Amino acid sequence: MEVLNYLVLVRHGQSEWNEKNLFTGWRNPDLTNLGKLEAKKAGELILSKGIKFDALFTSVLTRAIATGDLILDELSIDSISISRDKALNERDYGDLSGLNKDDARKKWGEKQVHIWRRSYDMPPPGGESLKDTGERVLPFFKNQIFPQIYKGKNVLIAAHGNSLRSLIKQLDDLSETEIVKLEIPTGAPIVYTFNGGKIVNKEELL
C-alpha cells in the first residue's frame, strides 16, 4: 500500500502594505482584516483535505507568522514543530522598499520598474532579484524541509510571493521565463502530494 504525504505552500494573506500598494520586501507590516480572513479561509481549505501536519515553516516576518498561526488555529493544532527562518523571507526590494509602486514608476520609469519586478535576475538598487532569493530559499528547503518530506512527514510553509515562487520553480521544473509569469494568490493553498520523496500530484485550493 502506498503511503502519501504532503507539502502545502501558502502565501500570506493581504498585508497592510499590500493594501497601500507599497513595495514591502523585508519590511514588517501586519495583516489587514482581509488578510486575516484570507489566512483563515486557507485553513478551512486545508482542513477539508484532512491533512495532519508534523511541521510548520515560516519566514521571520509578521505577515507570514500570523498567517501560519491563523491556519493552525483553523486546523485546531496546538502542538507542532515550528521553524521560522529569514531564508524564507520575501525578496528584498532594496531602495524600492516602502515606496508606492506608482511613485516608483514616476521616479525610475515604468519600463525599469517592470524589469525589476518581473525579470529573473535583475535586482532593484540595493535589493535582490528572484534568482538571488532562490539562492537562499533552495538550500534551506534542501537541508531543513525536504528531509522531513522524505521521511513521510506532512509540512506546511507560510511564506511570500517570491520566496514561494523560487521554491515552485524548483518543484515544478519551470524555466526562468515561466516562473516570472507565475502569480501566486494570497491565502490560496498549493498542495503537493509526495510518494517516496517524489511529487505525484499538485493541487491548488481556491
90 is annotated as an active-site residue: yes
Concatenated DSSP letters of the chain: ---EEEEEEEEPPPBHHHHTTB--TT----B-HHHHHHHHHHHHHHHTTT---SEEEE-SSHHHHHHHHHHHHHTT--S-EEEE-GGGSPPP-GGGTT-BHHHHHHHH-HHHHHHHHH-SS-PPTTS--HHHHHHHHHHHIIIIIHHHHHTT--EEEEE-HHHHHHHHHHHHT--HHHHHH----TT--EEEEEETTEEEEEEE--
**Catalytic hit among 2, 38, 74, 90:** 90
**Catalytic hit among 12, 38, 128, 160:** 12
203 is annotated as an active-site residue: no
Residues acting as catalytic residues: 12, 90
